[in-house]
Amino acid sequence: MADSEEKFLSPGEVAKKLMVSTASVRLWAEKGDIKALTTPGGHRRFRESEVARFSAQRGMRVSRSEQLKLSILIVDDDIQFTNYLKKLLQKFEDKVDVEVVSDGFAAGLMISEHEPDIVLLDLMMPGLDGFSVCERIKSTPTTADIRVIAMTGYPSAENVNKIIAAGAELCLTKPVDKDELLKLLKLI
């Protein structure tokens, strides 16, 4: 890609992309770990391709807002329902990556490994229920910004209030309205 076509980033933009402080970016540039260009005004600018090389070499995670696809984790023990959701979301495979787990314990592992953007979370599951999963997501600093959309076949006021208090964005009633869900996911 020619220089005129490639995007250049400021130290602040690189810091946001790599989820570090601007001081770290400046230190890496001073040490020569990440190559920077200097503007006539004396400011550092980083080629996007150089930032990608540096982050890949260091095994660094890029911020969610910089990812091209939305990462969705479906957590539900109802296999028919999860198959329905997965099939619905596969229509948008160019925009989303979908993973499915069937219990709260598996959800915890998947969330810590992959940090999805959105969790579609059933409330009533054996073992670790959706309330506990949501509380753990929202109380952990590295996962607190994950959107949690709860789903239940038992939409009592008590259940809805409890999951909202745990940090869920909202609670959908099963069977979910597909257009409402797709709008919430910003797919339509």
Q: Which two tokens stand for residue 139?
A: 């109380």
3 falls within a domain: no
Residue 48 and residue 113 in one domain: no
Range in 25-29, 92-96, 111-115 with the lowest mean pLDDT: 111-115
Range in 30-39, 65-74, 125-134, 167-176 with the lowest mean pLDDT: 65-74
2 falls within a domain: no
Residue 15 and residue 99 in one domain: no
Q: What pLDDT score does 16 carry?
A: 83
Query: What does the DSSP assignment read for 27-41?
Result: HHHHHTSS--EE-TT
Residue 136 and residue 172 in one domain: yes
Residue 32 and residue 100 in one domain: no
CA–CA dist 100, 74 (Å, integer): 5
Residue ranges of alpha helices (H) inside 59-103 are 79-90
Average pLDDT over the chain reads 88
Q: What pLDDT score does 127 carry?
A: 85
Nearest to 51 by CA among 99, 80, 14, 81: 14
1 falls within a domain: no
CA–CA dist 73, 24 (Å, integer): 32
Residue 111 and residue 173 in one domain: yes
pTM equals: 0.67
Q: What pLDDT score does 3 carry?
A: 46
Residue 31 and residue 120 in one domain: no
Residue 51 and residue 71 in one domain: no
The count of structural domains within the chain is 2
Residue 83 and residue 169 in one domain: yes
Q: What pLDDT score does 65 carry?
A: 54
Domain range spanning residue 38?
Answer: 8-59
Residue 52 and residue 72 in one domain: no
Higher pLDDT, 74 or 97: 74
